[in-house]
Amino acid sequence: MNGWSPFLDLPGTGAIVDGADAVRRQVRLNVKYGADQIKIVATGGILSVGDAIGAPQMTDEELTAAVSEATRLGRPVMAHAHAGAGLLAAVRAGVASIDHGSLVSDTAIAEMKARGTFLVPTLIILEEIVRDGEAKGVPAYARAKATAIAAERRVRLRAAYRAGVRFALGTDATSDIHGRNGEEFRYMVEILGATPMEAITIGTRNGATLLGVEQDLGTVAVGKLADLVAVAGNPLEDITRLQRTALVMKGGTVVKGPAR
């Protein structure tokens, strides 16, 4: 959160923690009040003020404390991380996923593959900041950060995919992106080099596996929840068809489209 007085206590904006004990306490508080997973900020970001995208935000001890305490309480940890030592340290601490991973290094790629760490590249958000950021009111400093890494980001993420790192789909749904997750599939094909079927798998089975709900979701099988979408035509021929759902079923109930 940027631009607010530090004297304001804004709910839902996360917590600043200093030291391993404070990290453990915050994890316990989050779990007590209903968190299904823990998110940590391992590096600087695009939208945050005054930090480089690869600047580590937590010590190795703090990262380890977050993962160990969350694991003890049965919660996975996702790490916001774009690049550098902070990303690598989060992987080595045992996070379930790296979210963004924009400039993931060869070393980090090897570690992620060996550990089974997921990469959630949130492709749509940075693409739109570069292309439409000014029109959408994204601050100039954030547009500059995004533009500076845009080309290399495509190279590094494709390298991670080709190396066999496991990917899952997410959009970092800020601005007007919420509900447009179907557009992420196109970027999976275009940027990562995934086939349409691989992109669909990234957005269904892989996502369920990462979240630990693969017993109920992620594939179409007897006994699983009937959470389904249908589109007109074959998305293997045109992946953008997944952006235009003709029917949505939640738990066996049609919530969009003809009830029959």
Q: DSSP secondary-structure letter at 247?
A: E
Coil, strand or helix at 78: strand
172 labelled catalytic: yes
Report the C-alpha dihedral over residues 11, 43, 29, 217, rounded to 10 degrees: 90
Q: Are the C-beta atoms of residues 126 and 173 closer than 8 Å to each other?
A: no
Neighbours of 8 (CB within 10 A): 8
Q: Which among 39, 51, 224, 227 is annotated as catalytic?
A: 39
From the list 9, 21, 136, 172, the catalytic residue is: 172
DSSP state of 14: -
Look up 216 and say whether it is catalytic: no
Q: Given 3-state DSSP classes, what are the helix, strand and coil percentages for the chain, each rounded to the nearest 5? A: 45, 15, 40
* Angle (CA) 192 198 204, round 5°: 110
Say how far apart CA 157 and CA 148 lie, in whole Å: 15
Point out the residues that are catalytic.
Answer: 39, 172
